[in-house]
Amino acid sequence: MVNAVSAGQEKSILIDISKCTGCRVCVQACKQWNRLPVEEYKFSKTDNGSPRFSAINWINIVFKQYINGAEGSESEKWIYTRQSCMHCRNAACVIVCPANAITHNVFGAVVIDEKKCIGCNYCIANCTFNVVGFDHSRNIARKCTLCSDRLAKGLAPACAHSCPTGALTFGDRSDILNLASARVEELKKNGNKNVELYGLSELEGLQMVYVLSEGKEDSQSKYGLPENPRVPASAQVWSYVFKPVRAFLVMVLAFALWVNKSESKHAE
C-alpha cells in the first residue's frame, strides 16, 4: 500500500483504448528516453497470453481482433492496449522484495533501487501483471519507472508526451480520474454502453487508468488485463510470516547468491 505519497503528488496516466491505434510511438519514446536498445518488435496477440517484458522492453502493445454486432450486421474491430508496469498501490513486488529495493516514490510510482536489488527474482515471480524484466548481465530487475526522472523535472512521462492520438493523458491522479469518468460518460452518450474504467479500485488503485471501450468482462482476452487482479497468495504469506525476519533472510540470500556466482565463475 502507498505510504509515501503526499496529497496532490500522486500521478497517473489515462489510457483510452478507444483512441489507441497501435502506432507504437510510446514504445519508441520509452526506449529513447531510457536509453534502451532497439530490438525487433512483434505485437502480442491477447489470445496467446500476456505480452513479454524484459530488461530492455518496458512497454508493450497487445491487440485483439474483435467481432461485434448481431449476426448479419457484424463488424470487425481491432483493440490495441498499451501495457507496462501498472504502479499498483497494493504492489506484490513491494511486498515480497527482501532487500527493500522496491518502493513507492512521492509520485506513487513503484520504483526499483538498482543498487539495493540482489537479483532474487521474487518480484518477477509474484508480479500480478508479469511486467518486470531481468537483466542477467547486471543481475538486477528492471521495469517501467513512470519516467520518475522526468516527473522530478516537471515533465510528463515520455510515452504520454509522445502519443499522437491522445490515447495517453498524464496528470495528477485526481484529475485523471475525473477525465476518465467524463470520457466514459461521453462514450456512453455516443452509444457505447459497454465502456468501463479499469484501475480505479483494482489492487487499491493503479496509476495506469484504462478506459475499456468493450468493458471489463473477459478483459484478459480483450486487452490482456486480468479481470480481477490480485496479489498472489505467496506474496501475502511472505508479508505476514517472513517479513519480520527480512534482515536475516536478506543476509542469507545475498550470501547464497554470492556463493553461487563465485562457483559459476570458478567453473568457467
CB 152 within 8 A of CB 112: no
Burial class, 195, CB count within 10 angstroms (exposed 0-12 / middle 13-18 / buried 19+): buried
Along the 268 residues of the chain, how does pLDDT read in single tens digits?
444 455 468 999 999 999 999 999 999 999 999 999 987 766 666 665 567 799 999 999 998 887 765 555 567 788 999 999 999 999 999 999 988 999 999 999 999 999 999 998 999 999 999 999 999 999 999 999 999 999 999 999 999 999 999 999 999 999 999 999 999 999 999 999 999 999 999 999 999 999 999 999 999 988 999 999 999 887 777 666 556 555 566 666 666 666 655 544 444 4
Work out the burial of residue 93: count CB atoms within 10 Å of its CB; fewer than 13 is exposed, 13-18 middle, 19 or more buried: buried
From residue 204, alpha-carbon distances to 20, 180, 207, 258, 264 in Å are 26, 17, 10, 37, 42
Pairing of strands 44-45, 60-68: parallel
So where are the chain's domains? Answer: 11-68+75-223
Residues 172, 154: contact at Cβ < 8 Å? Answer: no
**Measuring CA to CA, how many Å separate 67 from each of 64, 76, 77, 216, 222?**
10, 5, 6, 16, 11
Fold assignment, 11-68+75-223: Alpha-Beta Plaits (3.30.70)
Rounded Cα–Cα distance for residues 159 and 82 (Å): 10
Q: What is the pTM of this model?
A: 0.84
